[in-house]
A and B are shown apart, each in its own frame.
Chain A
Amino acid sequence: MNADAPLYTLNNLSKRYTRGKETVTIFDALDMTIDAGDFIAIMGPSGSGKTTLLNLLGGIDAPSSGEVVFEGQRIDNLSQGKLAKWRAANAGFIFQFYNLMPTLTAAQNVELPLLLTNLSGKARKDRVNTALDIVGMSERARHRPGQLSGGQQQRVAIARAIVADPKVLLADEPTGDLDRTTADEILKTLQLLNAEMGKTIIMVTHDPAAARYAKRELHLNKGRFEEKGKV
């Protein structure tokens, strides 16, 4: 780990798919740096590669060529086992459809990432309570996802993403399934996590209103970034 290095550095990153005899290029020779503490909204038309890029940043997909460097260390060439450990230690994920385990309570869902740590039961419980408290869901700790609204489920999902204290939060359309009011509440929570806890957040969204909560907006179009401005 290099303390002076950016959080992420993408070097000459390319992603191509083979569809039959045709090779489809999602993006080619992409270069980018993301600093710790940043809050980036990645926007772009459907099929522009936003989610693919997020997958590469989260270590759940591999580039066709180029490098994904995290804190000075390449992660694109790690084995699946090492990538799993890297994700557990460094990245928190927020999904559009929450992806909570339906059989577990909110607290148990939040505790899931902590099962991969050596924390004691009590320490895990403390952390879960703190995470739920941050997202305002302490009162619903014993509820199952089916007993919660969409917005509440997303709050639990955010608590699950932050409970292991990752360096980066990767969010794919986190408000895509929510009404405007609830979406604003979720986005304010993310903004708070960025501003007060220093979490780096990379968010993919179609929604210009959601993107305005970010510090930077990156538009991915035809395999290239266009930066639309800084907050």
Chain B
Amino acid sequence: MNDATLIRKNLFRKRLRAVLLMVSILIAFLIFGVLGALQNAFSVGMTSAAQERLVTVNRINFTVALPYAYWGRILQVEGVRDAGPASWFGGYYQEPQNFVQSFAVDPESYLAVYPNEILLPADQRAAFLEQRTCAVIGRALATQYGWSVGERIPLMSNIWQKQDGSQAWELDICGIFDDRDGTYPTNYLMLHYDYFNESLAFGRDSFHWITITTNDASQNDRISQEIDALFANSPAETSTTTEAAFNEAFMEQFGNISLILTWVIGAAFATILMIVGTTMVMAVNERTREIAVLKTLGFTAPRIFRMVLWEALLLSFLGGLIGLGLAALASAAAASALAGFLPSFGLSWMNIVTAMLLMAALGIVTGLLPAWNAMRVRISEALGKI
């Protein structure tokens, strides 16, 4: 036997209470883990490269199209190296619930603005550039639907209609791209803008956004202002920002994810803090006599303080680690189902480290007051008499 035995026995002296406390902590960390995984999915693409690329969209918002002619004019702005226009296709496969994130792009210019992110074998790249019905897909999407190079798929659009009334575009999968370091999403499909545009029943010769690389990132502010100035007072004014800001704005259409997560996690932890803190104080108060006996036997006040604090930490880590483990399992299970829409759904090392720090903080905060009370127990008062 040692102090750890005493700590463990004291924690589980009332098993139901200990288990309920652990479950409440478990739920807090389950929420933390799952929401953390969600936040990771939403923050993908906020890389340093994304800070240097620019994106021009309609000033109203990115769902309102820009005229095709803007592409050529943007390319004329001093300092612009490449510019790749893209249109949101709104694709699905066979059934509307089989969402396929898909863009109609100008292949050459689009690949040029992502030279380091999109890894496509040379022969597949050549095929994509040459054949109008070619599409390339990311690895995650290929895995999700089991597609491979050489397959022909009908991709439906829930937005666009062809002149013949159909909403299906027949596409040949010519390539599967990977990303270099796991930070670029591979959950989408690219098809030829020309092939898409030529058959449209409406909305032809327009695009939704244009991604731009520049010769000198330090000039990006000036270039952004010049691009927007080009189209000022026109029927389709533009807004040019960094790609990271664009991605963030895109995600914020679902609400301010970070703020929502912070509030939900904060509320969960504040509740748990009060429940666990109050219960720990009560649990230690119930043991005042036993603490007095330990002190009588010669246990020093600092030692008793440490034992009660460790008890709170043990409770916090037991509940927290189980909750985090369940969050990891739930995230892994959900990741494949969400791969098409949220490719990076999953816990990161940063989530795990943050959770550990939160467990320690929760244990310390909930343990400090009862530990302090235990340390200050006066033997003669607690026992009445020895």
Q: Chain A contacts of B2 at CB under 8 A? A: 115
* A60 in contact (CB, < 8 A): yes
Q: Is the CB of B386 within 8 A of A51?
A: yes
* B204 in contact (CB, < 8 A): no
Q: B377 → chain A, closest Cβ, in Å?
A: 11
**Chain B interface, number of residues (Cβ within 8 angstroms):** 26
Q: Please, which residue of chain A has its CB at the minimum distance from the CB of B295? A: A84
Given known A-B contacts A103-B9, A115-B1, A88 and B383 have beta carbons under 8 A apart: no
Interface residues of A in 75-97 (CB under 8 A from B): 80-81, 84-89, 93, 95-96
Of the candidates A81, A108, A124, A160, the one whose C-beta lies within 8 Å of that of B5 is A108
* A61 in contact (CB, < 8 A): yes
* A113 in contact (CB, < 8 A): yes
Q: Is the CB of A58 within 8 A of B386?
A: yes
* A190 in contact (CB, < 8 A): no
* A116 in contact (CB, < 8 A): yes
Q: Is the CB of A116 within 8 A of B290?
A: no
* B81 in contact (CB, < 8 A): no
Q: Is the CB of B298 within 8 A of A88?
A: yes
- The docked-state distance in angstroms from the alpha carbon of A85 to that of B299 is 8
Interface residues of A in 148-180 (CB under 8 A from B): 160, 170, 172-173
* A54 in contact (CB, < 8 A): yes
What 1/0 flags go to B185-224 for Cβ under 8 Å of A?
A: 0000000000000000000000000000000000000000
Interface residues of A in 43-66 (CB under 8 A from B): 51, 54-55, 58, 60-61
- The docked-state distance in angstroms from the alpha carbon of A85 to that of B12 is 29
Of the candidates B6, B298, B383, the one whose C-beta lies within 8 Å of that of A84 is B298
Main SS of chain A's interface residues?
helix
* B285 in contact (CB, < 8 A): no
The tally of CB-CB contacts under 8 A between chains A and B is 79
Q: Is the CB of A99 within 8 A of B289?
A: yes
Given known A-B contacts A55-B380, A108-B1, A103 and B300 have beta carbons under 8 A apart: no
Q: Chain B contacts of A86 at CB under 8 A? A: 298
- The docked-state distance in angstroms from the alpha carbon of A120 to that of B208 is 76
Q: Please, which residue of chain B has its CB at the minimum distance from the CB of A108? A: B1
Of the candidates A95, A102, A104, A116, the one whose C-beta lies within 8 Å of that of B386 is A95
Q: Chain A contacts of B9 at CB under 8 A? A: 101, 103-104
Interface residues of A in 20-75 (CB under 8 A from B): 51, 54-55, 58, 60-61
Q: Is the CB of A58 within 8 A of B296?
A: yes
Q: Is the CB of A103 within 8 A of B10?
A: yes
Q: Is the CB of B297 within 8 A of A88?
A: yes
Q: Is the CB of A113 within 8 A of B297?
A: yes
Q: Chain A contacts of B3 at CB under 8 A? A: 115
Q: Is the CB of B299 within 8 A of A116?
A: yes
Residues of chain B touching chain A, judged by Cβ–Cβ distance below 8 Å, are: 1-3, 5-6, 9-10, 12-13, 289-290, 293-302, 379-380, 383, 385-386
Other A-B contacts than A55-B379, A84-B300, A112-B294, 8 sampled, CB-CB below 8 A, are A51-B385, A61-B380, A93-B297, A95-B293, A99-B289, A103-B13, A108-B1, A115-B299
Residues of chain A touching chain B, judged by Cβ–Cβ distance below 8 Å, are: 51, 54-55, 58, 60-61, 80-81, 84-89, 93, 95-96, 99, 101-104, 108, 111-113, 115-116, 124, 160, 170, 172-173
A-B contact pairs, 27 of them (CB 8 A): A54-B385, A55-B385, A58-B386, A60-B296, A60-B379, A60-B386, A61-B379, A61-B380, A84-B295, A84-B298, A84-B300, A85-B298, A86-B298, A87-B297, A87-B298, A88-B297, A99-B289, A99-B290, A103-B10, A103-B12, A104-B9, A113-B297, A115-B1, A115-B2, A116-B298, A116-B299, A160-B297
